[in-house]
Amino acid sequence: MQVGADFIVGYRMGVEDFTAGGVTIEESRIAAVQLTSSVEIDYLSLTQGNFDTIAEHLPEAHYPAATYVDLHAQIKVVVPHVPIVTSSRIQTPAQAETIIAGGKADMGGLCRALVADPYWPSKAALGQANDITPCITCNRCWGLVVESKRIACTVIQIAGPKPTCRLKHVRHERTASPSLAAVPRGRRRRALPWSAVIM
């Protein structure tokens, strides 16, 4: 397939499998140089882990924020001319800003943060970071997708199967008024309009 020069082409690259015999960061550094010198790539979007090391692919709450930014920075230094997107547990605009300001990546990639709050980028741009509904990295969305079910999210009601879990002790950060993210089947269910935190 051919595209015009103004068509953006990115490449998603798993840079470390954390698996014996799998891709290593050292191999990925070589591959990134070879790839970007042989074809025109507008950006590299980096990830890590595989289905055997899924915890590394979708780091949960006990992993530090921006878990793999330093791993991904090892690719950036060998291809400084290619914009690098780092991903994995970037949750707040401040974290993304810090990564970019520190020169570790050129862009912060978001997946679960956008599932939990599709308005994350708009709120960040408008300086409304406190209104972002945070992803709690429970990985329910992932579990549904790998079972070929429609995606759904624990912290916000979006199209998909009805929530099977119940959140308690959730409050709106904006108003500090107690509220529930989801209530049991058969009762009125409401979406969280603004950010919520688990207390």
Ligand X SMILES: Cc1cc2nc3c(=O)[nH]c(=O)nc-3n(C[C@H](O)[C@H](O)[C@H](O)COP(=O)(O)O)c2cc1C
The residues binding ligand SF4 (CB under 6 A) are 112, 115-116, 135-141, 153-155
Residues of span 70-129 touching ligand X by CB under 6 A: 87-90, 110-113
Nearer to ligand X, 109 or 131 (CB): 109
Chain-centroid distance of CA 27 in Å reads: 24
Burial class (CB in 10 A: 0-12, 13-18, 19+), 15: buried
Q: Cα dist. 191→68, 97, 133, 184 in Å?
A: 31, 29, 11, 13
* Cβ 78 to ligand X shortest distance, Å: 21
Strands 170-172 and 196-198: antiparallel
Give CA angle at 67 (108, 142), nearest 5°: 80
Q: Which is nearer to ligand SF4, 30 or 114 (CB)?
A: 114
Residue 167 near ligand X by CB under 6 A: no
Output the smallest distance, CB 153 to ligand SF4, in A: 3
Q: How far is the CB of 131 from ligand X (least distance, A)?
A: 19
Return left, alpha or beta for 70; rule: phi > 0 is left, psi -120 to 50 is alpha, else beta. Answer: alpha
DSSP helix/strand/coil, 114? helix
Q: Which of residues 22-51 bind ligand X (CB under 6 A)?
A: 47
Is residue 35 helix, strand or coil?
helix
Please tell me whether residue 140 binds ligand X under the rule CB under 6 A. Answer: no
Out of ligand SF4, ligand X, none, which partner does residue 145 contact, by CB within 5 to 8 A per kind?
ligand X
Q: Are 176 and 147 in contact (CB under 8 A)?
A: no
How many chain residues interact with ligand X (CB under 6 A)?
15
Locate 97 and state its tokens. 């800003």
Decide if residue 142 touches ligand X (CB under 6 A).
Answer: yes
Q: Which is nearer to ligand SF4, 23 or 138 (CB)?
A: 138
The contacts of residue 93 (CB under 8 Å, 6+ apart) are 120, 123, 124, 129, 132
Quick one: which segment of 97-105, 123-131, 138-146, 168-176 binds ligand X (CB under 6 A)?
Answer: 138-146
For the CB of residue 149, give the shortest distance to ligand SF4 in the complex, in Å: 12
Residues in contact with ligand X by the rule CB under 6 A: 12, 47, 58, 87-90, 110-113, 141-142, 145, 151
